[in-house]
Amino acid sequence: MRPDLHPSPMPRAIAPATSSGTSPAALLLLLGALLLSSCTALPHLDKAEDGASHHGETQATTAEQTMQAAIRAARPRQSNLPRARSLLQGLLAAEDAESRALHPYARALLEQVQERQRLAGLNERLGQQLEQSAEALKDSEQRNEALQRKLDALAEIERSLTPPVPAAPRPRSQ
């Protein structure tokens, strides 16, 4: 194994006090960005980008290739989370030394991928609920308008049926 590939300790995010006003979603996004930036700092696997080989190694290992593929699949703009998840699970199942060296990174990225999948599902359900609520609100507004028109019509009928109030007779002056 190349000496430059030994995993360094993962930076730990310190959770702020709940009174800070930072939302859990913002903290999750910050943690994800930190994780992706630390994982993308791994050496590139392309020989053309690598230039000279390190310590006689001319090709990247399968574990490194799997990790890089998982990182590419988990990128926010080109997200293929199911593929990233299966790649990471396969890497975690591997017991060779190269794979074990990447297990901390793979576990952390897998947790993030799973959380992103969970949040995507929640987002979809909330979107559906929002659409249903908007439709229900529109129906309710239409019913309210119809009822208001009926009330106005009844008030007009009531005014037309009520005889005018006669003026009170004037008291006679003596």
Check if the beta carbon of residue 74 is closer than 8 Å to that of residue 113. Answer: yes
Task: Specify if 28 maps to a domain.
Answer: yes
**pLDDT confidence of residue 32:** 58
Task: Specify if 15 maps to a domain.
Answer: no
**pLDDT confidence of residue 109:** 95
Task: Specify if 70 maps to a domain.
Answer: yes
3-state SS, residue 75 = coil
Task: Report pLDDT digits (tens) over 37-78.
Answer: 555 554 444 433 343 344 434 334 689 999 999 999 999 887
Task: Specify if 143 maps to a domain.
Answer: no
Q: Structural domain of residue 74, as residue ranges? A: 23-45+59-127
Task: Specify if 10 maps to a domain.
Answer: no
**pLDDT confidence of residue 76:** 85
Task: Specify if 31 maps to a domain.
Answer: yes
Residue 111 has a CB neighbour count (10 Å cut-off) of: 14
Task: Specify if 87 maps to a domain.
Answer: yes
Task: Report pLDDT digits (tens) over 104-155.
Answer: 999 999 999 999 999 999 999 999 999 999 999 999 999 999 999 999 999 9
Tally the domains of the chain: 1
Task: Specify if 142 maps to a domain.
Answer: no
First to last CA, the chain: 126
